Amino acid sequence: MNHNMYNRLVRIDQLIRQGIYPGVEYLAREFEVSNRTIYRDLSYLKNTLEAPLKFDKEKKGYYYSQKTWSLPSILFSEAELIALSLARLALDNLTGLPYENNLNTAMEKILNCLPAETRESLSMLNQYYSFRSIGARHYDIKTLDLLSRSIKKRHSVKIRYYTSGRNEEMERVVDPYHLDNLKGDWYLIGFCHLRKALRVFSVNRILKIYPLDISYEIDPDFSYQEYIHNTFGIMHSKDPVDVQVRFYGLDARLIKERHWHDSQKCEEMDDGSVIIQLHVCGLEEVKRWALYSGENAEVIKPEWFRKQIYEEILRMAERYQIK
């Protein structure tokens, strides 16, 4: 529904309630539109919004047979309602969503304002659409909610955090800047008082969290978009590098079909393989991405990164030795 149609429906409703029994030609002159447009508006009122719209043959105009009916304060087109419902289905796939209960109640309020036929139609969407993820983590909603409120109030938090690389637990004081969801996993970007710098924390590894009565200001130079600009995933470093990976077979075709990074450049080779070039940091994530394709991926540049992959493949071969 566009803005003009919304305004016409509001005005048509007002004219009907004034008891002047507006007809199609009267409304067409009022809004300077065609009779066909008015018929479409009246059809939307009656069939979509289930308005008790009747036509009086003697007065040659429309009226409401039930005075208690009221025009919804927010009007949605069918396409807009489907888009909202699909967005809700997609968000169901994000476990531990902050304000999840609030989102559910908001959607219920919207649905309750809709005609019964429309509500029933929308309830059938999950039979035709679905969103899935494999290996999704389960998050403590209290942790995400506390982080979300701390960002809003600009209050620091103390966390007990498990660092998987060093296999150790440590307490940190953090100024939360931003919550980022990447492939279903939640990450906190914040200023770490211990490191005196911005750090990324996996929310799943926050073992305990305590709100602090300490206010902070976000660095005015911080921009989430700029912070992640060169990252391939979530890992961040100051010095991005140029990486080239060559994909073969089916993987080559799949690589071309997706957007991996804003810096990507793809070159199709004569044998059907594809070389993708990236300017990124966080090469650990690039390594996992390349290894995921097995023999159908080959890291070409930089040489030192290619050597890292080679050494990892040797360790893999050692582990897979058949005795």
Which pLDDT does position 137 carry in this prediction?
76
Average pLDDT, the chain: 88
Instruction: Give 228-272 as a DSSP string.
Output: HTTBSSS---S--EEEEEEE-HHHHHHHHTS---TT-EEEE-TTS
150 or 130, which is more confident? 150
Residues 107 and 41 in one domain: no
Mean pLDDT of the region 287-311: 95
69 in a structural domain: no
134 in a structural domain: no
Residues 117 and 152 in one domain: no
List beta partners, residue 189: 178, 200
Domain count, the chain: 4
Residues 119 and 156 in one domain: no
Side-chain-side CA neighbours of 220 within 13 Å: the count stands at 0
**Weakest-pLDDT range from 16-30, 111-125, 152-166:** 111-125
Burial status of residue 301 (CB atoms within 10 A of its CB: 0-12, 13-18, 19 or more): middle
Task: Describe the strand order of the beta sheet including 155-163 as a list of residue ranges.
Answer: 197-202, 185-192, 168-182, 155-163, 206-215
236 in a structural domain: no
We report the CATH number of the domain holding residue 18 as 1.10.10.10
Which pLDDT does position 303 carry in this prediction?
96
Is 160's pLDDT higher than 80?
yes
Residues 112 and 46 in one domain: no
Residues 26 and 95 in one domain: no
What's the rounded Cα separation, in Å, for the pair 320 and 323? 9
Q: What is the largest CA-CA distance in the chain?
A: 96
Residues 289 and 315 in one domain: yes
70 in a structural domain: no
What's the rounded Cα separation, in Å, for the pair 246 and 251? 10
| Contact in structure between 150 and 158 (CB atoms under 8 Å) | no
Element (H or E) spanning 159, and its range? strand 155-163
Percent share of the chain, pLDDT over 90:
60
Which pLDDT does position 99 carry in this prediction?
65
- Residue 92 makes CB contacts below 8 A (sequence gap 6+) with 131
Residues 177 and 256 in one domain: no
233 in a structural domain: no
Residues 167 and 195 in one domain: yes
Which pLDDT does position 73 carry in this prediction?
66
Residues 170 and 223 in one domain: yes
133 in a structural domain: no
Burial status of residue 64 (CB atoms within 10 A of its CB: 0-12, 13-18, 19 or more): middle
Instruction: Give residue for tokens 């005196």.
Output: 196
Residues 252 and 223 in one domain: no
Helix axes 35-43, 24-31, angle to 10 degrees: 110
Last residue within a domain, chosen from 201, 228, 255: 228
We report the CATH number of the domain holding residue 189 as 2.30.30
Residues 201 and 253 in one domain: no
Last residue within a domain, chosen from 228, 255, 278: 228
Cα four-point dihedral sign 126, 131, 137, 140: negative
71 in a structural domain: no
73 in a structural domain: no
| Contact in structure between 118 and 48 (CB atoms under 8 Å) | yes
Q: Of 203, 151, 209, which is closest to residue 175 (Cα–Cα)? A: 151
Q: Find the domain containing 152 and state its range.
A: 141-228
Tens digits of residue pLDDT in 28-60:
999 999 999 999 999 989 988 889 999 999 999
Instruction: Give residue for tokens 């999950």.
Output: 126
pTM metric for this prediction: 0.70
Which pLDDT does position 95 carry in this prediction?
58
Residues 82 and 60 in one domain: no
